[in-house]
Structure 1
Amino acid sequence: MSIVALIIIGAAAGFLATRMMRIEADIITTVAIGIAGALIGGLVLRTLLAVMGMLSGLVGAVLGALLLIWLWQKYLQK
């Protein structure tokens, strides 16, 4: 997601977050909170997806190996 998109989404997120938390803040503070939250959240999400992507590759590899072992034991080894 580009920085411009994070800023736009962040402005909306700041508005929603201040309303959900019942915080009275001016527009500049609301937008700043949302933008900072969007930037931090975007970076954290990218990091988690990268780690989970690598982890999912490992899980997929293990599941594939288990399937091959099961097929080998079931049909090839007698």
Structure 2
Amino acid sequence: MPIIALLIIGAAAGFIATRAMRMQTDVITTVALGVIGALIGGLLLRFLLIITGWMAGFVGAVLGAMLLIALWRRYGPR
């Protein structure tokens, strides 16, 4: 069940992050960015997750996906 939740939250976070950073990607890339961003954000914002609950995890997922997009734009394929 946590894997399904990770995919759903990651997909939503990837969608919001790609739109916020004006990046056009396909569905698989959007979900992958969101899931990886969710993992990064989850690790970075673990403390907030404990204090404020799942909403902090979602915010962390969006921020992690945005960080990953910024790194992709800088160092990814051209």
TM range (shorter): 0.5 to 0.7
In structure 2, distance between residues paired with 1:45 and 1:16: 18
Q: Secondary structure at the match of 2:16?
A: helix
Alignment of 1:50-69 (within 5 A): none
1:41 aligns with 2:14: no
SS at match of 2:45: helix
Which blocks of at least 5 consecutive residues in structure 2 are unaligned? 52-78
Question: What does the per-residue CA deviation read over 1:21-53, in whole Å, with 9 as the maximum and x for residues that have no partner?
Answer: 11010110000000000011111222xx19xx8
Q: Which has the higher contact order (CA 8 A, sep 6+)?
A: 2
**SS of residue in 1 equivalent to 2:13:** helix
Q: Which runs of 4 or more aligned residues in structure 1 lie more than 3 Å from their structure 2 counterparts after TM superposition?
A: none
User: What SS is found at the alignment partner of 1:19?
Assistant: helix
1:43-75 per-residue CA deviation (whole Å, 9 max, x = no partner) reads: 1222xx19xx8xxxxxxxxxxxxxxxxxxxxxx
Aligned residue-pair number: 49
Q: Which runs of 5+ in 1 are unaligned?
A: 54-78
RMSD: 2.2
Aligned match of 1:4: 4
